[in-house]
Amino acid sequence: MRVNNNFSKSVQFDKTNAYNEVLDYIDPELTNVLSKLPRNIIEKVEEIRLRNGKPLMISLGSGDYFVSKNGTSVLEPTNCIHVTNKHVLKTFQLISNYSIYSIEEELKYGFVTVRGGHRVGVTGKAVYGTKGLETIRDISSLNIRIAKQMIGVSNNIIRFIIKKPNTVYNTLLVSPPQCGKTTLLRDIIRNISNGIDAYNFHGIKVGVVDERSEIGGTYNGCPQNDVGVRTDIIDSCHKHEGIMLLLRSMSPNVIATDEIGDERDIKAIHEAIKAGVRIISTVHGDGVEDILNKPKLRDIITEKVFERIILIDNTHGVGTIKDIVDGVNFKSVMS
């Protein structure tokens, strides 16, 4: 039986509220214009981009648009709001709560997470010290990504992941960029952490390595996204280090992480599996053949480590489940 699955049918928190949350971190002069955008546009905004000396831009699922002076979205940069250094500086001050020192550790990774789980990408002048990249100064661009958690997007496919008695298959989510694999991963974590009454599945302990703060959206030590009641998160940590840390300290039943690929990640996954811990992760790719062509992933796939491989694309909207295959024989389990 095929699963007709995409994210348009999921339940999510109020999109307008999420948009208004990020406006609190933007220069009031720009906020005055951004707040005038029509509601149907506001609900679709995924990113707000401030580039010093360039037009103010918003990104929707359908593409990029400029923001006009009267608060409309347009395709051509005429009669548009232009971002100045003052706008960038004021916005950065609001994001850092007027204390760059409080966010310097995050800046090393090129982004800052703010209340609500929204993530702000930062570019400017990289400053190096004896230990490598220390911070970013003379900020030139800010990319404010609006967090919109989608609850329930894994409900239709969770039965292919859970395994009796009360455990899960080692699972790999595969998709091209911006097709929803992180969104799906987050909801899988929530489901298996809370438990699923419909399948008599009791919640299990999940350790999450959230290297880029995209899964939990942790702010001041508290996940802003619902990742379940039995979930522990190590935030802003390299995947291979985070996996080993969780193994040593949190006794997880499952470790979940995003976008594996580094040789050290693969080694850490092997260590987790040897310890009896299940793995759920994601990777960029267009399908099984594509990831088999990636040297650092080929071995772990051919070793049959992942028992379920979920293939995602956007052919019928973001989060379309193209197929779910058995990681041992590479045959579909959905038919």
- Identify the domain boundary among 92, 115, 145: 145
Distances (CA, A) of 185 to 89, 217, 304, 305, 327: 35, 13, 20, 18, 18
| Mean of pLDDT values over 299-304 | 93
Domain count, the chain: 2
Residues 119 and 156 in one domain: no
Is the residue at 215 inside a domain?
A: yes
Residues 165 and 102 in one domain: no
Give pLDDT tens digits for 179-210: 889 999 999 999 999 999 999 999 999 999 99
Can you tell me the distance from the alpha carbon of 227 to that of 206, in angstroms, rounded to the nearest whole number? Answer: 9
Q: Dihedral angle at the C-alpha atoms of 8, 11, 16, 18, nearest 10 degrees?
A: -110
Give pLDDT tens digits for 59-111: 997 789 999 999 999 999 988 999 999 999 999 999 999 988 888 888 888 89
Residues 172 and 103 in one domain: no
Q: Which residue has the higher pLDDT, 10 or 280?
A: 280
Residues 169 and 255 in one domain: yes
| Mean of pLDDT values over 116-137 | 90
Residues 187 and 136 in one domain: no
Is the residue at 59 inside a domain?
A: yes
What band does 261 get if pLDDT is binned at 50, 70 and 90?
confident
Is the residue at 334 inside a domain?
A: no
Is the residue at 333 inside a domain?
A: no
Residues 29 and 108 in one domain: yes
Is the residue at 211 inside a domain?
A: yes
| Mean of pLDDT values over 203-222 | 94
Residues 202 and 285 in one domain: yes
Q: Any residues with CB less than 8 A from the CB of 98 and at least 6 apart, and which?
A: none
Can you tell me the distance from the alpha carbon of 258 to that of 6, in angstroms, rounded to the nearest whole number? Answer: 20
pLDDT at residue 7, as a whole number: 63
What band does 218 get if pLDDT is binned at 50, 70 and 90?
very high
pLDDT at residue 5, as a whole number: 66
Q: Structure pTM? A: 0.86
Residues 268 and 199 in one domain: yes
- Identify the domain boundary among 82, 114, 145: 145
Q: Is residue 296 pLDDT above 50, yes or no? A: yes
What range does the domain containing 261 cover? 151-326
What band does 3 get if pLDDT is binned at 50, 70 and 90?
low
Is the residue at 331 inside a domain?
A: no
pLDDT at residue 4, as a whole number: 55
Q: Is residue 228 pLDDT above 90, yes or no? A: yes
- Mean pLDDT estimate for the chain: 92
Q: Is residue 283 pLDDT above 90, yes or no? A: yes
| Mean of pLDDT values over 277-282 | 98
Is the residue at 189 inside a domain?
A: yes
Q: Which residue has the higher pLDDT, 135 or 331?
A: 331
- Identify the domain boundary among 145, 180, 211: 145
pLDDT at residue 71, as a whole number: 93
Question: The domain that contains 157 carries what CATH number?
Answer: 3.40.50.300
Is the residue at 230 inside a domain?
A: yes
Give pLDDT tens digits for 158-173: 999 999 889 999 999 9
Residues 58 and 195 in one domain: no
pLDDT at residue 1, as a whole number: 44
Q: Is residue 308 pLDDT above 80, yes or no? A: yes
Can you tell me the distance from the alpha carbon of 270 to that of 286, in angstroms, rounded to the nearest whole number? Answer: 24
pLDDT at residue 148, as a whole number: 82
Residues 202 and 253 in one domain: yes
Neighbours of 152 (CB within 10 A): 15
Residues 274 and 183 in one domain: yes
Q: 176 preceded by cis ω (within 30°)? A: no
Residues 29 and 138 in one domain: yes
Q: Which residue has the higher pLDDT, 281 or 63?
A: 281
